[in-house]
């Protein structure tokens, strides 16, 4: 699975696109954390929910369920929301 990493998290991965394994969104994020320790906590809070400033997209649909099944040959996009005034 190809995963697009937002630029704010490139300090973990060193690049915008990475490969990760998993049959669900949660499993892919766990694999990312195995490869890049600490990255999952930047996206998922202590209660296991997607942080407010993070959006996950699969096939142009926003992911709200971390249990969503993912095909191995697909893409997951992680986007960090921008804010300001």
pLDDT attached to residue 8 = 93
| CATH code, 2-80 | 3.10.20.30
Side-chain-side CA neighbours of residue 59 (13 Å)? 7
Encoded tokens for 24: 């669900």
- State the Cα torsion 39-40-46-51 to the nearest 10°: 90
Per-domain boundaries in the chain:
2-80
Per-10-residue mean pLDDT, the chain, length 85 = 96 98 97 98 96 95 96 95 67
């Amino acid at each position: 699975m190809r995963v697009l990493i937002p630029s704010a998290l490139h300090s973990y991965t060193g690049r915008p696109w990475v490969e990760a394994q998993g049959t669900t969104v949660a499993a892919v994020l766990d694999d990312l954390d195995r490869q890049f320790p600490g990255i999952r906590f930047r996206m998922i809070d202590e209660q296991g929910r997607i942080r407010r400033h993070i959006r996950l997209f699969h096939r142009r649909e926003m992911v709200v369920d971390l249990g969503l099944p993912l095909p191995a040959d697909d893409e997951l996009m992680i986007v960090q929301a921008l804010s300001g005034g």
